[in-house]
C-alpha cells in the first residue's frame, strides 16, 4: 500500500507541475480576434566594392622631387572630379566608410583623404581609422580622394597597405 501511495503522490505532483507549465487556452471569435507580433530579423550586410580610376589597380604617388606638396595619385584628377577610388555600398544598410594604413607611414610623408575633390576638406591619417563618408545608402557610392605631402623623401619606392572598412550607420 505504501508503494501505491507514493506512486499516486508522484503522479499528482507531476500533474500539478505540468498544469503550471501549460497555459490556459483562450477562445477567439469574430468579436475577439487573436492578435500577435510578427517579426522579421534581417542581418545587416556591410559589403562594398572598390573601383580604381582608369586602369589603376593601386594607389601610386609619383613625385618629381624629394619635397613636394599635394601630390595626387596616378589616375586621380581632383580638378575634374575624378577620384582615385570609388566605393560602392553593395549591402542592404546605410554604411559609414573609413580608412587607415595598416602600418605607420614614413616620417617624411603625410597622407590625406576626403570624399570631396577639394584638398582643404581632407583629413590626415595614419594607422588610426578616419571617416571617409557616413550614411552612404545601399546601392550608392562615395568618391575617395587622396593627397600626399613629402619632405626630404629618400629616392626609391616605399609601400604601405591602405585599408578601407565599412560599418552599419547608426
* Rounded Cα distance, 139 and 95, in Å: 10
Structural domain boundaries in the chain: 48-168
User: What pLDDT digit, counting tens, does each position of 22-70 carry?
Assistant: 566 788 999 999 999 999 888 899 999 999 999 999 999 999 999 999 9
- pTM value is 0.79
Q: Would you call 5 helix, strand, or coil by DSSP?
A: helix
Q: Are 84 and 59 in contact (CB under 8 A)?
A: yes
Q: Are 68 and 150 in contact (CB under 8 A)?
A: yes
The topology (CATH level 3) of 48-168 is: Immunoglobulin-like (2.60.40)
Q: Are 90 and 141 in contact (CB under 8 A)?
A: no
User: What pLDDT digit, counting tens, does each position of 66-119 carry?
Assistant: 999 999 999 999 999 999 999 999 999 999 999 999 999 999 999 999 999 999
Amino acid at each position: 500500500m505504501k508503494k501505491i501511495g507514493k506512486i499516486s503522490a508522484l503522479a499528482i505532483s507531476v500533474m500539478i507541475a505540468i498544469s503550471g507549465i501549460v497555459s490556459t487556452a483562450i477562445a477567439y471569435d469574430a468579436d475577439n480576434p487573436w492578435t500577435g507580433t510578427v517579426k522579421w530579423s534581417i542581418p545587416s550586410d556591410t559589403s562594398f566594392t572598390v573601383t580604381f580610376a582608369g586602369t589603376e589597380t593601386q594607389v601610386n604617388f609619383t613625385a618629381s622631387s624629394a619635397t613636394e606638396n599635394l601630390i595626387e595619385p596616378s589616375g586621380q584628377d581632383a580638378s575634374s572630379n575624378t577620384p582615385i577610388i570609388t566605393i560602392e555600398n553593395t549591402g542592404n544598410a546605410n554604411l559609414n566608410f573609413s580608412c587607415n594604413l595598416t602600418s605607420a607611414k614614413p616620417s617624411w610623408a603625410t597622407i590625406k583623404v576626403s570624399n570631396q575633390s577639394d584638398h582643404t576638406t581632407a583629413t590626415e591619417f595614419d594607422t588610426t581609422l578616419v571617416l571617409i563618408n557616413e550614411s552612404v545608402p545601399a546601392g550608392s557610392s562615395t568618391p575617395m580622394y587622396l593627397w600626399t605631402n613629402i619632405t626630404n623623401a629618400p629616392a626609391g619606392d616605399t609601400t604601405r597597405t591602405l585599408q578601407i572598412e565599412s560599418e552599419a550607420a547608426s
